[in-house]
Chain A
Amino acid sequence: KAGVTQTPRYLIKTRGQQVTLSCSPISGHRSVSWYQQTPGQGLQFLFEYFSETQRNKGNFPGRFSGRQFSNSRSEMNVSTLELGDSALYLCASSLVIDTNEQFFGPGTRLTVL
């Protein structure tokens, strides 16, 4: 069974631009969560989607948004990029919501110049 895939793996953008990241969960998984990973902060929870609905949201500004499609694939969008948005963005999928088992993708490395 294929794992969680994230595209692209690497991105370079400049301040003020916007970016869209994509995540395809494991086949059959309906929940997708997004995390931002930075060296000083570790992993910080962005949001969780289940059945195309946002079920949980972390403490990030409104510039960070997401959505989930009917096939469970999810996208994350960051508008008006700032230097501090440079990070590894990880997606995790799980079979259902409120489970202890989540499977992570390899991440998208975003660099903002």
Chain B
Amino acid sequence: GDSVTQMEGPVTLSEEAFLTINCTYTATGYPSLFWYVQYPGEGLQLLLKATKADDKGSNKGFEATYRKETTSFHLEKGSVQVSDSAVYFCALKGTGNQFYFGTGTSLTVIP
């Protein structure tokens, strides 16, 4: 069945460091792919998305490219800030138009 596997956390980085959070997926067909962010005490917010192969989603300095050949959708940011501290979820919309989420990666950015 459809599933998402993402990098285990927690991840701790210094401010202005480069961020990569790995995400790979298993799905039949051509799913849409998403990154969501969850700040403490809040629900998930859509960070970026890509709906077809080679699409690049981007928002707030974050980027992810839909790689069909490697079934990956890694999240990257060139220079993280303290305000980026949150939990990040990779997700796909697959079979039956159902969303499948990864387990989440906690990011802490220290000044």
Contact = CB atoms under 8 A, between A and B. Distances in A.
B98 A56 contact: yes
Contact of A42 (B41, B43, B104): B104
Nearest to B91: A43
Interface residues of B, number: 23
Nearest to A109: B41
Given A56-B97, A56-B98, A106-B41, A100 B103 contact: no
Interface residues on A, range: 20 to 34
Contact of B43 (A39, A56, A98, A105): A105
Contacts of B46: 101-103
A90 B44 contact: yes
Contact of B42 (A92, A100, A102, A106): A106
Given A42-B89, A42-B104, A43-B89, A104 B99 contact: no
A41 B44 CA distance: 16
Contacts of A101: 46
Given A42-B89, A42-B101, A100 B51 contact: yes
B45 interface: yes
A103 B97 CA distance: 16
Interface string A49-63: 000000010100000
15 contacts: A40-B103, A42-B101, A42-B104, A43-B104, A45-B98, A45-B99, A56-B96, A58-B98, A90-B44, A100-B32, A100-B34, A100-B49, A103-B43, A104-B44, A105-B43
Interface of B: 32, 34, 36, 41-46, 49, 51, 89, 91, 93, 96-104
